[in-house]
Structure formats: C-alpha cells, structure tokens
A and B are shown apart, each in its own frame.
Chain A
Amino acid sequence: MRKLTVGLKRAALCVAVGGMIGAAGPAFAAGEQFVPVPIYRVGPYAAGGTGIFGGMMDYMQMINARDGGVNGVKLTWEECETEYKNDRGVECYERLKKKGPTGATVFHPLSTGITYSVIERATADKIPVISMGYGRTDASDGRIFPYIFPLITNYWSQSTAKIKFIGQREGGMDKLKGKKLVNLYHGSAYGKETIPVLDIQAKKYGFEVTHIEVAHPGNEQQSQWLQIRQIKPDWVILRGWGVMNPTALKTAQKVGFPADKILGVWWSGAEEDVLPAGDAAKGYIASGFHPSGTDFPVIQDIQKLVYGGGKKGNMDDPRRVGTIYYNRGVIHGIITVEAIRTAQEKYGKKPLTGEQVRWGIENLNIDDKVLKRIGAYGLMPTLKVSCLDHEGGGGVKFQQWDGTKWVVISDWFQTDQSIVRPMIEDSAAKYAKEKNLAPRDCAKEAAAEGKKKS
C-alpha cells in the first residue's frame, strides 16, 4: 500500500513540476567536465533508456564520490528526454552541446537513428559520438569518421561472432554447410543492417539464410513463425527490439520451435526481453558484450557509495542494479571516464573540450590491467581503439536464460575481421566519395604524434 501511495504521490508530483522540467537546468562550476545524457524515460523503449543511462550516471556519481572526479575534475551531467525519437535526439544534442565550462565532452545517442542524425553535426562541432554496440557500422573506419566511435563491436562484427558460435554448437564451421538459418529482423534500419554480412557468410560457409521481416513494433508474429516452421531452420537469429522480443519467444513456443535454437542479438538479450515471455524464454540464447550480475568490484562500489545508507541513485528501482541494461550503462560510464583520463594525460588535468576527449577515445587502451584496476575485469572485453579502427576489437559472449537469470555459456568469441573489415572500408569509402571527404592519413598522424612526444 505504501508503494501505491508513493505511485500516486509521484503522479501528483509529475503534474505539479512537469512544467518546470527543462525550464531551468543545473548550474555548472568552472572546474567540471560536462557529459550530456539524452535519456528516454518514457515511451516504448524506456526500459533500455533508464537502465543504460541509469548505470552510466551511477558510475559517474560513484567516481565523483570515491575519487573526487577524474583526477580531481568533477563530472557533471544533465538529462534531456528524447523518447527514442530522432528529432528529439537532435534537439537534445543542440540543447546540451554547449553546456558546461568546455561544452559537451562526448555524446551517447543510445539510438541508431539519432546516431545517424547527429554524425555530421557532431563532426562539425568537434564533439565525439560513442555508439557502443549500435549505430553506423562503417563508422568503424576512423579515417572517414574521425568523431564517431561504434565501440566494442559493431553489428557486422557481432554477426560474425554469432555464426562462429553456431558453428561451434554444430561441431565446427565445416558443419555449417547445408544448414538452414532464418534471420528474423525488426523492420527498421537497425533490423536490416546485418542482411549483407549474413549473405556473405552464407556463401562462405555454405549455409542457407532466409531473411524474414517483422513490421514495427512486432507485437504480432503469427505468420512469420508459421513460415519459420515451414522452413524448418536449424537456428533462428532474432534481431529484435522492444516488444518484438518477448512476442517472438511466445510465438515460437506457440508453433513449437525450441527456444534454445533461437539466438538473439544484444538488443534482444536483456531481462526485459525475456521476463514477459515467461516459460517460453527458458533456454533462449542471446549474445552480449558483458554479463549481468553484481559480482564485480565496480558494481559493488556503486552499491556502497551511490545506494548505501538508503541513498537514492539514478535508478527508480534499485533492484535493477546488475541487470543487463544497467551493466551496459556502467560500461558506458567506464569508457567515458577512461577516455577523459587518457585525454588528460596529453592535455592536462582540467576540464577538456570535445576535441580533446576525441583524442582520448581514439587512444583508449583498456587492457586486463586497466580492467582489474577499475574493478571491471570480466564485465567487459578489452578494448584498443586507433585512428584506423574505431571499433576497438571487442569480443562477444553468449548467455542463456534459465528462467530466472542470464547464465554466461561461452568465453569471449573474437569477431571475423577478414569478412567485416573489407565491407567497412568499402562502405566508408562510398560515404567519403558521396560527401567529398578526404580520408585521414593515420600513419602520418601517428608519425607527427611521435615527433611531438620526442
């Protein structure tokens, strides 16, 4: 009943202060580093928005509380509601880009659509954009996209790791020959992104792939799954988002397709994707670049310093700390902080501009030693970014839903860059030609950098 009262009070508060939100933002002190938070707290994808940005803000709050900021420079942030809409995302970008003493440090769009919408603006404004595990895949070529960082693994790389996983499950890559796969994808730019790379792999390994689209939002999939039953595939790749995921799992059960032969992408692999499906999700496998759970020193520090003693963190429901989305948010925080730390080594321990932090991201080297220092060993893969490679060479793990929690069932799978990199370079070159852009000369830049140091 107390929770009910809290809910009603919250509603009253919403009405009372609703008009004031956005009218006045927080004031920023001169010695602070500003990070925009283009969150989505409402709308169909709010679970992802609140979980990921909640985790990121908690991490930054913990760094301020535990370390007094990054080398003494306090982190500040301001939320802006995008509702996962492109126009709102651009509006938030414009509203927040000049906040703080040095402007926006780095922009996390948390939406492939918003990423596409801000690429040219951010490049012109010299503000780096991190689209971790989403966004424009060919932006991995840093020579053409100096300010865009689709870190850890882009969609194409992830797809190659998935095929490797299926190969391993089938007893070797040679056993893929003659197998049938269905790619059940969301009818959006995000959903269609992996069709070409799957076709190339199908040719390389000799399996057959059928692409079946599910129209947005994906809350009805009867005909798609009946087709799948007709095709009798060995595996179904689920490339869903939001309501499409539980609906897919439920409909698969309805037509008798086994959940442990469905392999989801990481936007189909959160607790919110499986819980509504109930027993239908048991055994379902999804890829991910991090596990869930709180058994990591960094998460425990957050629990102690941000939520300890009844304090209120950035999650409305503290029970979500340690969930998939939350941990992904913490990784967003870690990468933001480490990029600032790296940039500080070159530019000094003071608030930095977006351009300076861009250098920090491009020179990130998060190895096992760094991961152990920050208490995130096992939480995320190692990462080494360069002028040429804005992806950073991360790995992919696979996890299985046991009915109550995700259980990691594999070690890090490396991606197949022999397939992905030529595709990226080809696509990026086309973009450069279309926009009349001259590619950066990474070797020349590295030499100039070396000369300055010596």
Chain B
Amino acid sequence: MDWQFFLEVLIGGLLAGVMYSLVALGFVLIYKASGVFNFAQGGMVFFAALTFVSLVERGVNFWLAMVITLAVMVVLGVLIERIVLRPLVNQPQITLFMATIGLTFLIEGLAQGIWDAQVHGLDLGIPDVPVKVGAINISQFDLFASATAGILVLALAVFFQKTRIGRALRAVADDHQAAMSVGIPLNHIWAIVWAVAGFVGLVAGLLWGSRTGVQFALTFTALKALPVLILGGFTSVPGAIVGGLIIGASEKLAEVYIGSSIGLNIGTGIENWFPYMLALLFLLIRPEGLFGEKRIERV
C-alpha cells in the first residue's frame, strides 16, 4: 500500500469535507432555531454568490459588494420570515418543509431573473495550487477554506454562547413556547437566524463559486450537505464540521479504494451515493446523529 497516496486521499477528503460543512452550517442554524429543515439553503448559496459576482462584474468594489450582498441576504431572510414562515407558525413541520421546497424554486428563479443564467468566474485571489507539506501535496485554497470554516464556527460559537441574541436563539431552539412566555420575540429571532444563514450561504457560495464558477450548479452543493447533517446531527454546529470531515474523507477513500481500478474496482463514480449509504447506516444506529439532541417524548 502506498501510504503517501493514502494520506493524500485522506487529507484531500477531509478538506473537501470542510467545504460540505460550510453548506451544512446554514441548514443547522435554521433547524436549530425553528425546527425547519430549510430545503432552500442550496438556492440561498447560489443567490448570494450570483448577487456578489454580478455586483463585482458591474464595477462595485469587492468589499462593498460583500456588504451589499450581506444586506440583500438579510432582507431576503426577513422577507422569508414575514411572508412565508410567519403565516405558517404552529403548522405541522412537514408544511414548513414543503414551504421551503417552494422557496427553493422561487429563489433559484429569482436569482436567474434578476441577474442571468450565465456562468461567472470568481477569483478570490487564493491560488488553487498545491503546496508541499512534507511529502504530501495540499491545496492552498483548501487550507484557506478550512481556516475560513474554522473562524466561522468559532464566531458562531461565540455568537450562540456569549451574546444575548445567541442565548435567545438557544432558548427558542429548546422550546418555542417557553421562550415566548419569557418574552423572547420569536419572529425577530427567526428573522435573525435566517439572516445569519444567509451570511453563511454567502461564505459557502464564494468559496464554492471560486472553485467551480458561479453557476446554477451551486444549488447542488445542498445535496452534499445532506449526509453531513444526518451524520453530524441537524442541531449541532460542531456536528456539521465533524460530519463533513467524516463524509469527505470516507467518500474519497471509497472512490479510490473501493470504486476504482486501483481498489476493488466495483465501478467508479460511487462518491455520489456512498455518503448517503453511510448516512443511512448511521441512521439505523444513531438516528439523532453524532451530536444531535436526543428526542425524548412523554406519552
């Protein structure tokens, strides 16, 4: 066995997993605060990245474009809360889930309607070239993405643990009705959490967009996040990171050592379904995910 190659595949997988985690974080935030599985998170990633790149292409300064896009995502979050979620308070969760499916198509269509359906290049100034770490090649861009994800998780942890809004968010996540009874405005909290998810979507969109181009396919990144969520738990920020690392590493190792002619040769292209199979197996053993909250209901 070529251990150097194995390590490269493993590290490459871990770093790819961080990119999945970035998308998964947006799902976790909204699920944590409202119990809604936001199917539209992939659309939000696309909307944010397309808005940003379209502004930059129209001559808006990079940082100003970032601020404007963030403002747009906040407005979008507030509008979603006012127009879609508020009228559905106290409805069954499946209704809210269905609403976010509708929202997905609306956001995707809106993004292409406002801007365009073309492919846009996005250069963040971070070269995607390998650097030697010992005998292993690691992409500079992947290291940058990992550092970004780390900072984001730290910032979210501080936000949740140390700020008033963060504590309110946690209270809402624990029990909507109890939180409301102590005077926490549920609607404001939902609007804030959708805005934060919009920000996370922007970061994920920029990193993914820089690697693959800003195009409709960014919406597919959500598919990469689903097994991460099942594995890490829908309510845990650290779970999203750990889940991403496990999924990223295992899918790459499976592709190389099970799928390809180098390995067992059962057929290449297995990395699309392998993470889902892994997540399904995990569901059987630990349905709430690695870090998810155990749900106990008294009957």
B271 interface residue per 8 A CB criterion:
yes
Could you tell me if B113 and A10 are in contact, using CB atoms closer than 8 angstroms? yes
Contacts A11-B113, A230-B262, A246-B212 given: A46-B118 contact, CB under 8 Å? yes
Contacts A222-B13, A230-B262 given: A242-B217 contact, CB under 8 Å? yes
Name the B residues within 8 Å of A43 (CB-CB): 117, 216
Could you tell me if B130 and A255 are in contact, using CB atoms closer than 8 angstroms? yes
A277 vs B121: C-alpha distance when bound (angstroms): 7
Chain B 34-60 per-residue mask, 1 if CB under 8 angstroms from chain A, else 0: 000000000000000000001100100
Q: Measured between C-beta atoms, what is the minimum distance from B108 to chain A in Å?
A: 8
Q: Within residues 245 to 269 of chain A, which ones have a CB less than 8 A from any CB in chain B?
A: 246-247, 250, 253-256
Binds B, one of A165-173, A209-217, A297-305: A209-217
Closest B residue to A11 by beta carbon equals B114
Contacts A272-B119, A317-B118 given: A230-B5 contact, CB under 8 Å? yes
Could you tell me if A222 and B16 are in contact, using CB atoms closer than 8 angstroms? yes
Number of contacting residues on B, CB 8 A?
A: 57
A138 vs B269: C-alpha distance when bound (angstroms): 26
Could you tell me if B217 and A219 are in contact, using CB atoms closer than 8 angstroms? yes
Name the A residues within 8 Å of B109 (CB-CB): 14, 42
A418 interface residue per 8 A CB criterion:
no
Q: Measured between C-beta atoms, what is the minimum distance from A87 to chain B in Å?
A: 16
A432 interface residue per 8 A CB criterion:
no
Name the B residues within 8 Å of A1 (CB-CB): 58
Could you tell me if B217 and A226 are in contact, using CB atoms closer than 8 angstroms? no
A15 vs B113: C-alpha distance when bound (angstroms): 9
Name the A residues within 8 Å of B122 (CB-CB): 276
Closest B residue to A275 by beta carbon equals B121
Closest B residue to A48 by beta carbon equals B119
Q: Measured between C-beta atoms, what is the minimum distance from A286 to chain B in Å?
A: 15
Could you tell me if B117 and A46 are in contact, using CB atoms closer than 8 angstroms? yes
Could you tell me if A8 and B118 are in contact, using CB atoms closer than 8 angstroms? no
Closest A residue to B5 by beta carbon equals A230
B187 interface residue per 8 A CB criterion:
no
B9 interface residue per 8 A CB criterion:
yes
A41 interface residue per 8 A CB criterion:
yes
Closest B residue to A14 by beta carbon equals B113
B8 interface residue per 8 A CB criterion:
yes
A3 interface residue per 8 A CB criterion:
yes
Could you tell me if A254 and B139 are in contact, using CB atoms closer than 8 angstroms? yes
Could you tell me if A7 and B54 are in contact, using CB atoms closer than 8 angstroms? yes
Name the A residues within 8 Å of B255 (CB-CB): 223-224
Closest B residue to A46 by beta carbon equals B117
Q: Measured between C-beta atoms, what is the minimum distance from A40 to chain B in Å?
A: 9
Partner of B252, one of A10, A11, A223: A223
Q: Measured between C-beta atoms, what is the minimum distance from B24 to chain A in Å?
A: 14
Closest A residue to B219 by beta carbon equals A44
Name the A residues within 8 Å of B115 (CB-CB): 7
A42 vs B2: C-alpha distance when bound (angstroms): 45
A72 interface residue per 8 A CB criterion:
no
Partner of A222, one of B110, B213, B224, B252: B252
Name the B residues within 8 Å of A222 (CB-CB): 12-13, 16, 252
Could you tell me if A10 and B114 are in contact, using CB atoms closer than 8 angstroms? yes
Could you tell me if A4 and B12 are in contact, using CB atoms closer than 8 angstroms? no
A243 interface residue per 8 A CB criterion:
yes
Could you tell me if B213 and A275 are in contact, using CB atoms closer than 8 angstroms? yes
B293 interface residue per 8 A CB criterion:
no
Could you tell me if A253 and B9 are in contact, using CB atoms closer than 8 angstroms? no
A3 vs B58: C-alpha distance when bound (angstroms): 7
Contacts A215-B269, A253-B129, A280-B128 given: A41-B9 contact, CB under 8 Å? no
A87 vs B273: C-alpha distance when bound (angstroms): 24
B-side residues, CB < 8 A to A, are 2, 5, 8-9, 12-13, 16, 19, 54-55, 58, 108-110, 112-123, 128-130, 137, 139, 141, 208, 211-217, 220-221, 224, 251-252, 255-256, 260-262, 267-273
